[in-house]
Every structure is written in C-alpha cells, then in structure tokens.
Amino acid sequence: MKGSLLVAAAALGAQHASAQYATAAMMRFQCSQLVIERLDPLVNPGVLGSPHLHQVVGGNSFNATMTPVQYDPSKESTCTTCTFSEDFSNYWTANIYFRARNGSYKRVPQMVNLGLQGKGGVTVYYIPPYDGKTKVTAFKPGFRMLVGDASLRTEKGMQKQICHRCLPNVEQNPFGGAPCTGDDTAAFPSKPCPGGIRSTITFPTCWDGKNVDSPDHKSHVAYPSSGSFETTGPCPASHPVRLPQLMYEVIWDTREFNDPSMWPETGQPLVYSMGDNTGYGQHGDYIFGWKGDALQRALDARCTGDRCSALTTQTAEQATACQKQPAVKEETEGWLDAIPGGVHAGM
C-alpha cells in the first residue's frame, strides 16, 4: 500500500504547479457501498422509486425524505460506510451498465481505489486550496448540492471538471495527472479500458452563505469568478463563501466486459443508469452529514489522506458492515432485460 499523501498528490498531480501540489494536504478516503437503489432524496424527495438507479455511500439514514436541517444524518444514522466515522454524509452517483449484443444489461461493478480498503463505493476528497493557508468554510447542517445533469446527452452545457479516464492497467499507479486533463473525456471512453474507468466528479467551491439548498440544487453554489479554486481564484460577490472542493472518484471495473467480441458493432457499450450511453449525463449528489464541527476541524487541521489526529476513524471491516436494505425491491444484478426503472440505452 502506498502512502495516502503520495497517492493523493499524484492523483491530482502533474499539470498544476507541481511544487505546490506535492505538499497539497487533501483528505482522500474510502466510503464503501451502502446501498444500490432507486431513491433520490434531492431530486425526487419522498418518491419510492426514482427514475434511475444510484449507488450510495455514507450514513445509513439515507432515505427518500431527508428534509434540510430537520433531518440530520449525523443524528439519524447509526453507522457510516466512510473511513472517517464522524462522516454520516451521503454521496451518490448513477450506476453503469454494460449492454451486450443481445440487448441484455449487466451492472459494471466498482473497484476500491489504490491504497484504500473496503467494498466498491466512492473515493471522497475534501480539498483545501493548494497555497496551504487560505481558509475554507465547512458545509453547514442541511447543506446539499448536485453537480452535472442527468439529462445531458451532448457536451454542451456540462459543468466543469466532470470526466472519465480510460485506465491502461490496474496494477500500475493509474493516477498520472490532474482529473479532466490529458486524454480524459467528458464522454465515455470509446475503446475498452484494461484497467477500468475512473470517473471524477468535482463540485463548485463558492457558496451564497445563506441557503443550504436551492430549487435546482445548484444555484446556491458557484465557481470562482476568475482563476480556479486550485489557484485561490476569488469567489463571486453573489457567492462569497469559499468551500472545500468536494470531489468523487469512482473506479468502474470494466475488465469483465472488455472482450471486443462482446462489444456491439454500433459503438461503446456502457450506459449510465438513466439510459445515457454518451457519458455526458454523469452527475453527483451530496448531502452533508458530518457530526458537529468535525469537518471544519479536519479542514483547519489540514487533514491529509485517510488518517488524521483531528478525526476518528474506523476499520474497513466496520465500514463495510454498515448496510442499508434497498427501499425499492428489484433486481439490479446479473443479466437484465432492462436497467432498473425500465430504462434502456439511448433514453
């Protein structure tokens, strides 16, 4: 196992000022699979059976109704799948299915990221500015947001810093360069990826300082008005509060599906659970649920990797023992005639 700092630095490395970067203290930790189900308390609150399937990690109080502020995941949860045991937030994304030549679908599993332990899930990053001193303000109770747009099927209109990387090899260090640089694509990779596919989903970093949510779950947050978060670009006057940069990394294990004879003649066979076979609909959802001021303490202490004296941690065994039963009973595994929710490729 490699040191988390090195891996984390390498994960975002190369193309930014590398000296700053090598010392960038970023939290990078495993949140294992909690549940795979058709719930979306952000976009479809109260609905049992959201239009598309998600993979969810974090606190086990994830539910169809999670009313801001009054439903506090850090109080409602009894466990979390994240390494940092004070983090009862929920992090979720769409799932990927493989569509075979005969039209059947099978879910593409996930690998745990390099240097981490657990089961599937998401690698979560909370990144402070690279200068090592600019302060960021932790999310407030009730805070939630969405990045990306599940309905997009073209690159036009996509938010920044959401992409895929085709990994050449599982064994080697696959993290050679900052996310969404080099050969990374907004679309699904067009060829088989021997080491799987890395999705990175990065959230905006400026907050209006007032609203923990907004009707589109986006307009209470914004990107820096000039420059970048990484270079401490200023936040716009409308959204003056500098947040940590939240990023998800998901490693999709495509190895079972890389045989070219399985690929349809019509093109690449991967489909997001909303029926998106372009990849442009990739999106991520977040509901803050850290206990008390734990996240602020971690940011102030410049916690790095997945161990920090300012925070409590749990073992991978404890984290993966945290599970939630799907609220919607349906088959999500094995060969299926349709993606859960009656979804098909090209929708």
Ligand X SMILES: *[C@@H]1O[C@H](CO)[C@@H](O)[C@H](O)[C@H]1NC(C)=O
Instruction: Give ∠ CA 214-215-217 in degrees, rounded to 5.
Output: 55
Report the nearest approach of ligand X to the CB of residue 61 (Å).
5
Q: Which is nearer to ligand X, 222 or 336 (CB)?
A: 336
**Nearest residue (CB) to ligand X, 61 versus 273:** 61
CB of 338 to ligand X, least distance (A): 12
Contact stretch for ligand X (CB under 6 A) within 19-27, 37-45, 96-104, 130-138: 96-104
Verify binding: residue 5, ligand X, rule CB under 6 A. no
Least separation in angstroms between CB 257 and ligand X: 9
Using CB under 6 A, pick the residue from 5, 14, 43, 100 that binds ligand X.
Answer: 100
Distances in Å between the Cα of 311 and the Cα atoms of 87, 91, 98 are 10, 19, 39
Could you tell me the smallest distance in angstroms from the CB atom of residue 141 to ligand X? 17
Selected from 15, 20, 23, 104, the binder of ligand X by CB under 6 A is 104
Helices (H) and strands (E) in the chain, counts: 5, 17
Give the pair of three-digit tokens for residue 269. Answer: 């066979």
Q: Which is closer to ligand X, CB of 14 or CB of 262?
A: 262
Please identify which residue in 70, 102, 226, 309 interacts with ligand X, judged by CB under 6 A.
102
CA–CA dist 72, 90 (Å, integer): 11
Q: Looking at beta carbons only, is 43 or 262 nearer to ligand X? A: 262
Interacting positions 54-93 with ligand X (CB under 6 A) = 61, 63
Over the Cα atoms of the chain, what is R_g? 19
Smallest separation, CB 335 to ligand X (Å): 5
Q: By CB under 6 A, how many residues form the interface with ligand X?
A: 8
Least CB distance to ligand X at residue 37 (A): 11
Q: Kindly tell me which of 61 and 110 has the beta carbon lying closer to ligand X.
A: 61
Q: Give the pairing type, strands 245-252 and 197-202.
A: antiparallel
8 A C-beta contact, residue 144 and residue 170: no
Site residues for ligand X, window 185-244 (CB under 6 A)?
none
For 347, the token pair is 């929708």
Q: Is 44 in the site for ligand X (CB under 6 A)?
A: no
Q: Which is nearer to ligand X, 71 or 137 (CB)?
A: 71
Among residues 65 and 169, whose Cβ is nearest to ligand X? 65
Nearer to ligand X, 63 or 181 (CB): 63
Distance CA 151, CA 266 (A): 22
Q: Residue 338 in contact with residue 346, Cβ under 8 Å? A: no
Distance CA 93, CA 338 (A): 19
The stretch near ligand X (CB under 6 A) out of 5-13, 97-105, 160-168, 184-192 is 97-105
Question: 23-49 burial string, b = 16+ CB within 10 Å, else e?
Answer: ebbbbbbbbbbbbbbbbbbbeeeeeee
Contact positions with ligand X (CB under 6 A) in 275-334 = 324
CA atoms within 13 A on the CB side of 231: 9
335 is an interface residue for ligand X by CB under 6 A = yes
| Number of other residues whose CB lies within 10 A of the CB of residue 65 | 11
What residues have CB less than 8 Å from 15, skipping those under 6 apart? 177, 178, 181, 182
Nearer to ligand X, 301 or 321 (CB): 321
Record the tokens describing residue 142, joined without a space. 């009730």
Distance from C-alpha of 127 to C-alpha of 299, rounded to nearest angstrom: 8
Contact stretch for ligand X (CB under 6 A) within 98-106, 115-123, 190-198, 251-259: 98-106
> Under the rule (CB under 6 A), what is the footprint of ligand X?
61, 63, 100, 102, 104, 262, 324, 335
